[in-house]
Amino acid sequence: MAFDEYKAEIALLLSQISGDPGNTHEIQMRLHTMIRTLRAEGLPVPDDLKELEAELEESFGPTV
């Protein structure tokens, strides 16, 4: 998947967090998977996403 496609998927996840805060834990798991995939492919992970991931882990605990 191209970096722009990852950015679009992440943007969708972020909009879902805003629209359905009750579903945040599932979205956190999907976001974490996307970030792991970016890292695995050697693509950059934006700092704001790293911060969001840390905030979500603080709220819900680390993903498995």
**What pLDDT score was predicted for residue 42?**
92
**What pLDDT score was predicted for residue 4?**
81
Q: Is 62 exposed, middle or buried (0-12, 13-18, 19+ CB in 10 A)?
A: exposed
CB 56 within 8 A of CB 31: yes
**What pLDDT score was predicted for residue 62?**
73
CB 46 within 8 A of CB 15: no
pTM of the model: 0.65
Per-residue pLDDT of the chain (64 residues; tens, 9 = 90+): 677 887 888 788 778 777 766 777 777 888 888 888 889 999 888 888 888 888 878 877 776 6
CB 6 within 8 A of CB 37: yes
**What pLDDT score was predicted for residue 24?**
74
CB 43 within 8 A of CB 3: yes
